[in-house]
């Protein structure tokens, strides 16, 4: 009988074996992505262009949260079988494919080999070379601040064969001498998110940044009407406006007057009749003919997916959302004048009570919650990662265990796995969630429930997690649709 707790020296031997397997897997994953545009995931987490330890930690995450024994010993043969197929332009969840094989093998051990299983399970992808889009989309970042730089990282990370989408240009206001180098330095070294995991060259002669081989033109302009993008070989571009300068249709339409632009996405809540999109919830509202779309706010993207699934399963009679939000560059470093109430006080020294439009924005995405939500915000002295505390009165009674189990299942097995994550760590703090790609993470340890009342605590990286949602929306606007496994889930 196998010991339930192996000796300490066995732990190290086991680790080295699993490490060696991952080292064999990395070049296979890399070739699938760079040569065939096949992204490999482990329960929604992309593992292409990742380190050995990241991939091993992704396996451990599945074992802890999914409560199974999936390890590198199981995923390795499944991946090698995938590599033997003629797979192209797809997004495949290796973790879920492996768990499916483990479930079948547990019922009838040895009846089917990994190779036969994978060939059968992925038969609808094998040999299908149709691209996810019939053309490549040029992308322009209008603005290169916190959101712009992180969106650039994500767009570059997703560029595999370069056939579907390319970041072609960045637009910024005219700067001082050495501006290009300064902007490059801000991009490659980030105090919160760390170093850019790629290569960057500065081509001052041509006013360009060359990131991972992608030539990105840096255009200096004060307004959209100064730019002719076709001069730079850019046409039918999708502009991501991350300046927040214009939030209505009239203002954002200025981009459409620039030669070479076809669509605009705003990285802030829009005003008027503009579609405020929370990817995963109402992105089906995006139509091919839409010229201007907004990606709502970081807080809206964090709370709406959880509100939606709670509304669908339990019903919501009323609720209040309190966001404990990291400070932003809209605030002052030290006390100084600010047109907004309280925001003039030093951000690094104070908790600042302020307003949020999260409740109004949530209702735009979930109309059935109209008149049922209120919201407020407290800015706190941390540079990134925020928390939404949702105090809800439900349509029926529930328990803490039922609520947590429901949200865990949503995070692991629904088509919202990229919007909702789940943690059961008793020692989790805000900095643990820097760099998370999900729109929010349910802190199950903190969940309170009794009768028809509950309090949910959601962590969210208000920078990176939000940018991941923005980029997913960009792909949807561009009409880039990947085939995926499992079929009912999208690995965006």
pLDDT in tens, 47-66: 998 999 999 999 988 887 77
pLDDT in tens, 381-390: 999 999 999 9
The answer, yes or no, to whether residue 316 has pLDDT greater than 90, is: yes
What is the rounded CA–CA span in Å between residue 47 and residue 194? 18
The answer, yes or no, to whether residue 305 has pLDDT greater than 80, is: yes
**pLDDT value, residue 247:** 94
Strands 208-211 and 200-203: antiparallel
Question: CA–CA distance from 117 to each of 31, 64, 245, 365, 457 (Å)?
Answer: 22, 25, 53, 40, 40
SS (H, E, C) 263-308: EEEECCCCCCCCEECCCCCCHHHCCCCCCEEECCCHHHHHHHHHHH
Q: Which two tokens stand for residue 75?
A: 């995923």
What is the rounded CA–CA span in Å between residue 275 and residue 295? 8
Task: Please list the residues that pair with 166 across neighbouring strands.
Answer: 138
Find the distance separating the first CA and the last CA of the chain, reported in whole Å: 43
Confidence of residue 355 (pLDDT cuts 50, 70, 90): confident
pLDDT in tens, 395-445: 999 999 999 999 999 999 999 999 999 999 999 999 999 999 999 999 999
Handedness of CA 316, 353, 279, 282 (dihedral sign): positive
Alpha helices (runs of H) in 314-452, residue ranges in sequence order: 358-365, 400-413
The answer, yes or no, to whether residue 22 has pLDDT greater than 70, is: yes
Mean pLDDT of 273-277: 94
What is the rounded CA–CA span in Å between residue 10 and residue 33? 34
Comparing CA positions, the residue from 37, 25, 43 lying closest to residue 80 is 25
Residue 427 has, within 13 A of its CA and on its CB side, a CA count of 0
**pLDDT value, residue 8:** 46
Residue 120 and residue 161 in contact, taking contact as beta carbons nearer than 8 Å: no
Mean pLDDT of 88-92: 95
Residue 306 and residue 456 in contact, taking contact as beta carbons nearer than 8 Å: yes
Higher per-residue confidence, 491 vs 163:
163
**Average pLDDT value over all residues in the chain:** 93
The answer, yes or no, to whether residue 156 has pLDDT greater than 70, is: yes
**pLDDT value, residue 4:** 39
Query: Angle, nearest 10°, between helix axes 94-107 and 114-121?
Result: 120
The answer, yes or no, to whether residue 489 has pLDDT greater than 50, is: no
The answer, yes or no, to whether residue 29 has pLDDT greater than 90, is: yes
Domains of the chain (ranges plus CATH)? 8-121 (no CATH), 137-268 (3.40.50.720), 299-466 (3.30.360.10)
pLDDT in tens, 196-245: 999 999 999 999 999 999 999 999 999 999 999 999 999 999 999 999 89
Comparing CA positions, the residue from 153, 158, 152, 150 lying closest to residue 140 is 152
- As annotated, the active-site residues are 298
């Amino acid at each position: 009988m196998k010991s339930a707790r192996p000796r300490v020296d066995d732990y190290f031997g086991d680790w080295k074996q699993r490490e060696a397997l991952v080292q064999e897997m990395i070049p296979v994953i890399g070739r699938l992505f760079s040569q065939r545009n096949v992204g490999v995931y482990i329960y929604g987490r992309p593992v292409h262009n990742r380190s050995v330890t990241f991939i091993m930690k992704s396996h451990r995450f599945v074992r802890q949260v999914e409560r199974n024994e999936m390890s590198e010993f199981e995923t390795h043969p499944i991946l090698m079988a995938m590599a033997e197929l003629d797979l192209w332009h797809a997004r495949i969840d290796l973790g879920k494919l492996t768990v499916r094989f483990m479930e079948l093998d547990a019922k009838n051990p040895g009846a089917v080999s990994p190779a036969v299983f994978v060939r059968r399970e992925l038969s609808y992808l094998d040999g299908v070379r149709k691209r996810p889009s019939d053309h490549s989309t040029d992308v322009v970042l209008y603005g290169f601040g916190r959101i712009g730089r992180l969106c650039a990282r994500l767009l570059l990370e997703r560029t595999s064969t370069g056939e579907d989408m390319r970041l072609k240009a960045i637009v910024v206001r005219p700067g001082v001498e050495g501006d290009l180098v300064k902007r490059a330095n801000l991009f490659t070294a980030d105090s919160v998110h760390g170093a850019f995991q790629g290569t960057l060259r500065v081509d001052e002669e041509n006013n360009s940044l060359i990131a991972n081989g992608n030539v990105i033109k840096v255009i200096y302009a004060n307004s959209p009407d100064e730019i002719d993008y076709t001069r730079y070989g850019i046409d039918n571009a999708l502009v991501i406006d991350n300046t927040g300068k214009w939030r209505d249709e009239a203002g954002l339409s200025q981009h459409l007057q620039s030669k070479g632009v076809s669509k605009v996405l705003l990285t802030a809540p829009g005003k008027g009749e503009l579609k405020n999109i929370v990817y995963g919830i109402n992105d089906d509202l995006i139509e091919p003919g839409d010229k201007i779309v907004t990606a709502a706010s970081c807080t809206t993207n964090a709370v709406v997916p959880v509100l939606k699934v709670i509304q669908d399963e339990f019903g919501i009679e009323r609720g209040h959302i309190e966001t404990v939000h990291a400070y932003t560059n809209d605030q002052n470093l030290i006390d100084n004048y600010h047109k907004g109430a309280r925001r003039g006080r030093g951000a690094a020294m104070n908790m600042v009570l302020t307003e949020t439009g999260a409740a109004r924005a949530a209702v735009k995405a979930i109309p059935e919650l109209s008149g049922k939500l209120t919201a407020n915000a407290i800015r706190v002295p941390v540079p990134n990662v925020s928390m939404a505390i949702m105090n809800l009165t439900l349509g029926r009674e529930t328990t803490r265990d039922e609520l947590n189990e429901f949200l865990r299942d949503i995070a692991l097995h629904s088509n919202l796995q990229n919007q909702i994550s789940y943690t059961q760590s008793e020692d989790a703090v805000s900095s643990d969630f820097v760099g998370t790609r999900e729109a929010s993470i349910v802190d199950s340890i903190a969940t309170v429930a009794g009768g028809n009342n509950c309090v949910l605590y959601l962590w969210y990286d208000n920078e990176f997690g939000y940018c991941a949602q923005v980029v997913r929306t960009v792909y949807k606007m561009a009409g880039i649709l990947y085939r995926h496994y499992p079929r009912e889930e999208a690995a965006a």
